[in-house]
Amino acid sequence: MISKTMENALNTQISLEGYASFLYLSMASWCDKEGLQGCAAFMHRQSDEERQHMLRIFHYISEVDGHALAPAIAQPPHSFESVHKLFEQVYAHEQKVTASINELLSLAYKDNDHTTLNFLQWYVTEQREEEALMRGILDRIKLIGDGPMSLYYIDKEMEKINKAELAAEAAESAA
């Protein structure tokens, strides 16, 4: 059984993951509008991934006899200054999610909730990977630049990242 405090904290995390899914979906739409199909495909995939993160917590709460709540999601922004600023915002949001996961871990330690500690370890690894990926993308954008001519190369880099991520996911599924 899960404590009410942990249940509430996990429900807050559900909202954060749901917002991330909608934020990245909004970013995908902006990228489509800007003709950045590689970036749009990447953001669509990220949106789907965040939804899966949300559902994983949702199901976990039910498994431990809690009450998972479907979140009300705030309207995310729908326009962005540049692709560089867009990915800076993604990176900042991933850092916010990491901080939230760390707070959940602290609460689980305090509650002596080993089941939730074990469950959250997946998120610790996932967030390390997400932050590293976003830092790498920002590093590439800084190298390429974000002027009009550079957008083509940024979009091609995103297509490469998409292919690599999809291949990694397929390999993981096959294992």
Q: Give the tens place of pLDDT for each residue, 155-174.
A: 888 888 888 888 888 888 88
Name the DSSP class of 67.
-
CB within 8 Å of 76: residues ≥ 6 apart? 19, 22, 23, 25, 26, 27
Instruction: Please tell me the distance from the alpha carbon of residue 19 to that of residue 74, in angstroms, as a whole number.
Output: 7
- Does 147 have pLDDT greater than 80? no
Q: Which two tokens stand for residue 116?
A: 């939730």
Please name each of the domains of the chain with its CATH number: 4-174 (1.20.1260.10)
Instruction: Please tell me the distance from the alpha carbon of residue 133 to that of residue 80, in angstroms, as a whole number.
Output: 20
Count the neighbouring beta carbons within 10 Å of the beta carbon of residue 56: 15
Is pLDDT larger for residue 66 or for residue 163?
A: 66
Nearest by Cα to 39 from 168, 169, 141, 162: 162
Would you say 39 and 146 are in contact if contact means Cβ atoms under 8 Å apart? no
- Does 10 have pLDDT greater than 90? yes
Which percentage of the chain shows pLDDT scores above 70? 99
Q: Give the model confidence (pLDDT) of 67-121 as tens digits.
A: 999 999 999 999 999 999 999 999 999 999 999 999 999 999 999 999 999 999 9
Angle value at C-alpha 160, between 134 and 23, nearest 5 degrees: 40
Q: How far is CA 158 from CA 42, 132, 150, in A?
A: 7, 15, 13
How much is the pLDDT for 1? 82
Which percentage of the chain shows pLDDT scores above 90? 79
* Average pLDDT for the chain: 94
How much is the pLDDT for 146? 67
How much is the pLDDT for 174? 86
How much is the pLDDT for 148? 74
How much is the pLDDT for 169? 83
